[in-house]
Amino acid sequence: MKKSVWLAYDLDIMSGDYEGLYRLLDELDAKECGECLAFFKLDVPSEDKLEEMLKELIVKHVKITPKDRFYIIFSRYENGIKKVKGKFLIGSRKKNPPWKGYATQEAPVEEEA
């Protein structure tokens, strides 16, 4: 079964294994979708094996550093309903995203002292 996957990757600038990642993405015939985002179809035996198989592929082909992050977006059927899911395969969400503090916020109309 072929599953569609979007892979967002964030490798360490100084020591990230871009060559290994790009070789893997080329082997998967991935399509470029903007900076650090790729789309491809992965052949998996069943829907529930997607994350496990993809993580194994990444670890096998890319030298992972502590700062590297890989996030996938995919669809899965749950109770007969197609759901879009997202998950970190490696790494985690940053506590403070780079855009934190850019939104303007209304000051309270009334303050108490």
Domain that holds residue 84: 2-90
113 in a structural domain: no
Place of tokens 């969400």: 93
100 in a structural domain: no
How buried is 17 (Cβ within 10 angstroms: 0-12 exposed, 13-18 middle, 19+ buried)? middle
Instruction: Count the alpha carbons within 13 Å of 7 in the hemisphere toward its beta carbon.
Output: 28
110 in a structural domain: no
**For 70-93, what is each residue's pLDDT tens digit?**
999 999 988 999 999 999 999 999
Compute the average pLDDT of residues 44-49: 92
Residue 37 has a CB neighbour count (10 Å cut-off) of 15
User: pTM to 2 decimals?
Assistant: 0.86
